[in-house]
Amino acid sequence: MTDTLPPPDEPARLDALRRLHILDTAPERAFDDLTRLAVTLTGAPIAFVSFVDDRRTWLKSRIGITASEMPKRGSFCGLAIRYPGIFIVPDTLADSRFRASPLVTSEPFLRFYAGVPVLTPDGHVAGMLSVASPEPRDIAPAQIEALAALGRQVSAQLELRLRIEEMSLVNKRLEDLPIPAPSEPPSRCGEIIDLPWDRATEKRLRELTALQRAILDSANYAIISCDPTGLIRTFNASATRMSGYSAEDVVGRANLIALHERMEVMVRAKELSRELGIPVEAGPDVLFVKPRRGQADEMEWTYIRKDGSRFPILLSVTVLRDETGAIIGYLAVGKDLTDHKEVDRMKSEFISTVSHELRTPLTSIRGALGLLDGGVVGTLPPEAQEVVQIAIANSERLVRLINELLELDKMEAGKLELHLQNIDPAKLVTAALEGIRGMADQAGIKLSGSIDVRGVVRGDWDRLIQVLTNLLSNAIKFSPEGGRVHVNVERVSRAGLRFSVVDEGPGVPPDQLHKLFKKFQQLDSSDSRQKGGTGLGLAISKALVEHHGGTIGVDSRPG
């Protein structure tokens, strides 16, 4: 790192930090909750609250990173405390200040960093609230705003902690005063305690509590906390704006699941029962069973407003634990998807219209090019023949893209018809492997399969072959030459089978997993990508699997 000068107010900053009595203290739930919220709101896999003294960066709270401290020199926070406001490094390898940092060149191999300052009560920068990732990425304006709000919350928590400590000292002094004898005048007993100062401290504590509430209420996300049964304990202003319910309507009175569409809860309970192999009741447990197991749970739901109207919400649920690790409740963070859905609807309508208009002329162009290539007008010069063949290949690619767009549009409109039949899983996998073997041989990839189940699966043969072919095609494209792609079929419940396609590719970074099954999403979207594809294959596969009543997902470890 080239920029190693200390902040201009370093002596005063260090003195203010020492007065906080925060360094080398035990974990505290208040800070851990804010760190967990930073992960949820930004989507970054790593988050931490750190304090920077004269020689090290010490982590008070952390998620996704094992180190509890690191040398100040070479740390992101050691430099970030010099700059006001948010400090963002989209790609550490492209930044000369950090590309040689041990945090970049070794564990945790950071490629992205963003942090906001944590301030002492007198305005000095004590440390940072940071999020990071092993992959380069951007951070959206709404996420920057949310991170800044959380940073202010950490600063407020610091002051609250300090005032509570001061009040504890005052209480101890009061307890240590001698009790006067009945005949002794009160004015001659013990030392004088400045009670007005104590009242001022109490007033400041109330102000800090109000500040914390204002910070939560300013977030553009619904933030709801509940106890282990789902009973709502806090309900911020954004949750009120979205749902129409006030905090007084629901806090201590309503269960979180009461906001949900009943039918969706029942469907989700069945999905989780199949996925986890355990019975899941159609109640609050559909929100809590995965977080309780330490698994992320983010999905789209339909929420019911107070007036009975519905709106889509993307809900992320995390577990809250006390210092002993016991579950004390859950935190739900929701984003209203109404505007996003409307934009998506308009985009789908546009794509559908344009696709229909393009398919007929493209088919004619493809036919005419085929006639030229076939010599209908005579033998073409070699240069012209090559140009025609390139044009044919590109027109075929466009026709495939349009057909996939129209197929996806049909699925999303609920117009897809499945021709269900009893299917032998072994025959299904064998057919899919044989159909893709030519591509695998050309890429130098070995194919294999293992089916450790008996019986049949109910499905549409052609559509399931399409799904397996899409998954196998992706696995082959991203596997190194000489690698192996394996298909495994296993029973995960009495009525459920899992088809897994395993490859030896580079893996998918955790912060990119959410893109995999979305339309037009390719993890390498640069012009130099070599793998090709339309970005629709996995979106189509997801739609087909869900039309069969199943689920599709990914388990990936980069490297």
Tokens of 79: 């430099």
Mean pLDDT along residues 530-555: 78
**Pair (456, 527) in one structural domain:** yes
**Pair (53, 136) in one structural domain:** yes
CB atoms within 10 A of CB 24: 10
Kind and range of the H or E run holding 197: helix 195-218
- Least confident span in 138-147, 179-188, 540-549: 179-188
**Pair (232, 298) in one structural domain:** yes
**Pair (273, 370) in one structural domain:** no
Give dist(CA 74, CA 301) in Å, integer.
Answer: 43
- Look at residue 2 in the predicted model and tell me its pLDDT: 45
**Pair (35, 155) in one structural domain:** yes
Listed as own residue / partner, the contacts of 69-74 with beta carbons closer than 8 Å and 24 or more positions apart are 70/102, 70/103, 73/1, 73/4, 74/1, 74/101, 74/102, 74/103
**Pair (265, 344) in one structural domain:** no
CA nearest 434: which of 453, 447, 421, 451?
Answer: 447
Query: Is residue 2 one of the residues assigned to a domain?
Result: no
- Look at residue 122 in the predicted model and tell me its pLDDT: 85
Query: Is residue 407 one of the residues assigned to a domain?
Result: yes
Q: How far apart are the first and last CA of the chain?
A: 26
Query: Is residue 472 one of the residues assigned to a domain?
Result: yes
User: Which residue would you say has higher pLDDT here, 204 or 509?
Assistant: 509
- Look at residue 1 in the predicted model and tell me its pLDDT: 46
Give dist(CA 75, CA 531) in Å, integer.
Answer: 36
Residue 455: CATH number of its domain? 3.30.565.10
- Look at residue 487 in the predicted model and tell me its pLDDT: 93
CB 498 within 8 A of CB 451: no
**Pair (327, 378) in one structural domain:** no
**Pair (476, 511) in one structural domain:** yes
User: Domain total for the chain?
Assistant: 4
Q: What is the tens place of the pLDDT at every residue in 180-233?
A: 555 555 444 444 444 444 555 555 555 555 555 555 555 678 889 999 999 999
Query: Is residue 194 one of the residues assigned to a domain?
Result: no
Q: How far is CA 244 from the centre of its chain?
A: 27
Q: What is the pTM assigned to this prediction?
A: 0.48
Q: Which residues contact 353 (CB under 8 A, 6 or more apart)?
A: none
E-strand stretches of 461-544: 484-491, 497-502
CA nearest 126: which of 267, 17, 274?
Answer: 17
- Look at residue 195 in the predicted model and tell me its pLDDT: 43
Mean pLDDT along residues 28-36: 86
E-strand stretches of 162-309: 222-226, 232-235, 297-304
- Give the model's confidence band at 511: pLDDT under 50 very low, under 70 low, under 90 confident, else very high: low
Residue 235: CATH number of its domain? 3.30.450.20
Residue 141 above 90 pLDDT? no
- Look at residue 363 in the predicted model and tell me its pLDDT: 78
Average pLDDT taken over every residue of the chain: 82
Query: Is residue 426 one of the residues assigned to a domain?
Result: yes
Give dist(CA 77, CA 433) in Å, integer.
Answer: 51
Tokens of 415: 């117009």
User: Which residue would you say has higher pLDDT here, 430 or 298?
Assistant: 430
CB 78 within 8 A of CB 57: yes
Query: Is residue 210 one of the residues assigned to a domain?
Result: no
Give dist(CA 81, CA 51) in Å, integer.
Answer: 10
The per-residue b/e assignment along 212-237, b for 16 or more CB within 10 angstroms, e otherwise, is beebbbebebbbbbbbeebbbbbbbb
- Give the model's confidence band at 306: pLDDT under 50 very low, under 70 low, under 90 confident, else very high: very high
Query: Is residue 69 one of the residues assigned to a domain?
Result: yes
Give dist(CA 285, CA 305) in Å, integer.
Answer: 21
User: Which residue would you say has higher pLDDT here, 187 or 279?
Assistant: 279
The residue whose two tokens read 């009525």 is: 495
Q: Is 255 exposed, middle or buried (0-12, 13-18, 19+ CB in 10 A)?
A: middle
Q: What is the tens place of the pLDDT at every residue in 466-487?
A: 899 989 998 998 889 899 999 9
- Look at residue 559 in the predicted model and tell me its pLDDT: 57
Q: Is 140 exposed, middle or buried (0-12, 13-18, 19+ CB in 10 A)?
A: exposed
Tokens of 531: 């793998």
Pairing of strands 446-451, 484-491: parallel
Q: Which residues contact 533 (CB under 8 A, 6 or more apart)?
A: 474, 477, 522
**Pair (486, 444) in one structural domain:** yes
Give the end of a domain, one of 138, 164, 190.
164
Give dist(CA 301, CA 336) in Å, integer.
Answer: 10
Give the end of a domain, one of 276, 306, 336.
336
- Look at residue 526 in the predicted model and tell me its pLDDT: 42
**Pair (23, 155) in one structural domain:** yes
Q: Is 14 exposed, middle or buried (0-12, 13-18, 19+ CB in 10 A)?
A: middle
**Pair (228, 288) in one structural domain:** yes
**Pair (278, 400) in one structural domain:** no
Reported as half-sphere exposure (CB side, CA atoms, 13 A), residue 102 has a value of: 8
Give the end of a domain, one of 412, 445, 472.
412
3-state secondary structure of 92: helix
What is the domain range of residue 122?
10-164
Query: Is residue 211 one of the residues assigned to a domain?
Result: no
Residue 87: CATH number of its domain? 3.30.450.40
- Give the model's confidence band at 386: pLDDT under 50 very low, under 70 low, under 90 confident, else very high: confident
Task: Report residue 106: phi and psi, to 5°.
Answer: -145, -175
